[in-house]
Structure 1
Amino acid sequence: MVIAGIDPNPQNAGEITRCTKGYWEAVHPYSADGSYVNFMMDDGDDNRLKATYGNNYDRLVALKAKYDPTNFFCVNQNLKPLHSSVDAPRDASGF
């Protein structure tokens, strides 16, 4: 399920946000756990990312550490490699 609260009028942002979050809270108990990774915002909450990947999270982090230890591929909902000193993109483009 994808919920989008959109209005071209910025004055409606508060009401749209309230309605969208309220709708999500009402239907979430009836939905599957997790999220669609490509629609997640980078809110800094690694727990949401861990919940989304579930039992695969640790395996994916290990693969990231093996094949991308410098975190070159980081313009996404980033899995940070284990023991990496690179936590952020190099610039706005990720390079």
Structure 2
Amino acid sequence: MADVGRFATQGRYVNDVAELQRDARSIYGDGKYERLVGLKRAWDPDNVFRLNQNIRP
């Protein structure tokens, strides 16, 4: 990765992150992450859709 890093663009592919809970805020940024948490609380407060790359409500 060190050899090809200079060719990479900023950002990460979310579905390829093993530990989304640990890295989610750094991937999305503070503003988007808080918005996603708010949406999750509003539309899926029981966390039914948790088997994907999950944002906890």
TM-score range (shorter-chain normalised) is 0.7 to 0.9
Tell whether the 8 Å contact from 1:33 to 1:52 is kept in structure 2 after alignment. Answer: no
CA shift, 1:27, in A, is 3.1
**Taking every aligned residue pair, what percent have the same amino acid on both sides?**
38
Higher relative contact order (CA 8 A, sep 6+): 2
Tell me the alpha carbon deviations over residues 11-69 of structure 1, each in whole angstroms, 9 at most, x when there is no partner. Answer: xxxxxxxxxxxxx234335533332111121x3652x2111112311101110011000
Asked which structure has the greater CA Rg, the reply is: 1
Given the alignment of the two structures, is residue 69 of structure 1 paired with residue 54 of structure 2, yes or no? no
The residue aligned with 2:25 is 50
CA RMSD of aligned residues (A): 2.0
Question: Following the alignment from structure 1 to structure 2, what is the Cα–Cα distance between the partners of residues 30 and 57?
Answer: 27
Using the size of structure 2 for normalisation, the TM-score is 0.73
Tell whether the 8 Å contact from 2:20 to 2:54 is kept in structure 1 after alignment. Answer: no
Using the size of structure 1 for normalisation, the TM-score is 0.48
Question: Following the alignment from structure 1 to structure 2, what is the Cα–Cα distance between the partners of residues 79 and 45?
Answer: 7
The residue aligned with 1:35 is 12
Contiguous gaps of at least 5 residues in structure 2? none
